[in-house]
Amino acid sequence: MQLHQNFRVPHRLRLVNQAAYEPELILIGPNHVGKEHLQDMEMTKRQCLKRIDRRKGHEIMCRCFEEIRNMEATIRQWYRVPEAFISKDDLAGLMVIDGCFIIELLCREPQDLMSKLQWSRAALFGDLLLLENQLPFFVLVKLYGLIKDSTDGTDFAPQALDKLIRMLPGPNIATAYLSTIKDTDEIHHLLGLIHDNWVPSPPGIQRYREYVEEIKKAEAEAKEKKRQPGTWKFILCAIAISKQKKLGQGNQESGTANKGHWKFICFSREKAKRLGGRVGRQSIRCARELEEAGIEFIKVDCGSDEDDSNQESYAKSLFDVEFTGGKMKIPTLVIGDNTERLFRNLIAYELYVQGSTYVIDYVTLMDNLVNTANDVQLLRLCGVIVNMLGDDDAVAQMLNKLRDCVTLCGETFYYEKMFVDVKQHCARSWNTWKAKLRQQHFVADLSIGQLDLKAKRGCVHYGDNVA
């Protein structure tokens, strides 16, 4: 078994929004022990334990406790909590109570429990995806193997993911994909399970990998050219000026001007220019400015597994943002009460683990597109954003602050090619001219094509008059 550890939220992130990392309803694990407002759910967790005891028998529950107690040293190392903080038996008991509750909630969904949590379901599931409110996944897998029905051949991971993906603010993971997920030692916890499977679609990942390979190849070629000898080239860097008076100040009495002296003061060897690389890869204009540059925003619907009639037009992942032909196609982002919490905890998780940073990259994209409430309004009217908060300014502030104290991880950025293409589009003189013309002179929403048609008609009329 590969040993991971339970990461803690960096202090700098807590300063931005501490509430986003704190449980609202339920305590999982030993990190938040002693908080009074979380005690109400403890009775509910123990009721779930009694339900399992009646269903599976007291012997199975005793075995659960013994198996987890045998893993106590590993669990303690995972949490990094000393024995003075919590005893062996208390830690094992905590794991069994919390683990059985999570398994019962995600795998069986008992009706009485669901009815009781009807109005707090979103907050409950949101608490299960907090970085510091986790159980080791190996504990959940061990308990699941002991208390599941003997006829149940399904792993725990796909069942848990099937319930938790309902918290995602975009397209759900396809059911066909869920069946391929297995319980492995690579999974840290429930938040890690979501993170590792909330990724761009396979075609999107393939395009990205091909682009990265092109960049690496181009950079290698540029590096090789840099080694080649170049020609020496003198560069005029400064002008030596008289100390008495500045250049341009003439002698008013004699009517003469002071003279400056040109002076070569440095030189360099001229070589082949190095590849521009990924300069400014993290920034593009906001949505309003991009619209003024002629870019059209188009929403991509989420669809569903039941509707197979036009699956090609549906978004497979929230991260599948594309830009072609002046059109930016973006899957619909639904922003609700728990959206910020989910993003912030996934971002904190990405800061620790090696591998993809799709969440940070996506947040970087949205942070660029949204500067003010006007940008949110534009994207909302296009269907790109569904604002469940009811306040465009609140959405803008949330998206702008998600990346506070966060920098891009690693050397790659998933939307790098798209950013390059967007900048090239905005830099073309035709697009800039067309955008300005549309904004300043065509208030009546006349298109460029209509203008061209009017011009041709004018030429015909002029010809008739001349004739």
| Cα angle, residue 338 at apex, residues 190 and 98 outer, rounded to 5° | 35
* Other Cβ atoms closer than 10 A to 332: 19
pLDDT of residue 458: 55
Query: Helix 137-147 vs helix 190-197: angle between axes, to the nearest 10 degrees?
Result: 100
In the numeric block, the tokens 């080649």 are attached to: 228
Distance of CA 394 to the CA centre of its chain: 19
pLDDT in tens, the chain (467 residues): 455 677 899 999 999 999 999 999 999 999 877 777 888 889 889 999 999 999 999 999 999 999 999 999 999 999 999 988 899 999 999 999 999 999 999 998 777 777 777 778 889 999 999 999 999 999 999 999 999 987 788 899 999 999 999 889 988 777 668 878 899 989 999 999 999 999 999 999 999 999 988 888 888 888 777 776 655 444 444 544 444 444 444 444 444 444 444 444 444 343 334 334 444 567 899 999 999 999 999 999 875 544 444 555 678 899 999 999 999 999 999 999 999 999 999 999 999 988 889 999 999 999 999 999 999 999 999 999 999 999 999 999 999 999 999 876 557 899 999 999 999 999 885 666 666 666 666 555 555 556 555 555 555 454 554 44
SS3 call for 133: coil
Task: For the chain, give the longest Cα–Cα distance.
Answer: 113
pLDDT of residue 439: 65
pLDDT of residue 229: 61
Are 77 and 61 in contact by the 8 Å Cβ rule? The answer is no
Alpha carbons within 13 A on the beta-carbon side of 335: 22
Domain ranges in the chain are 11-197, 287-427
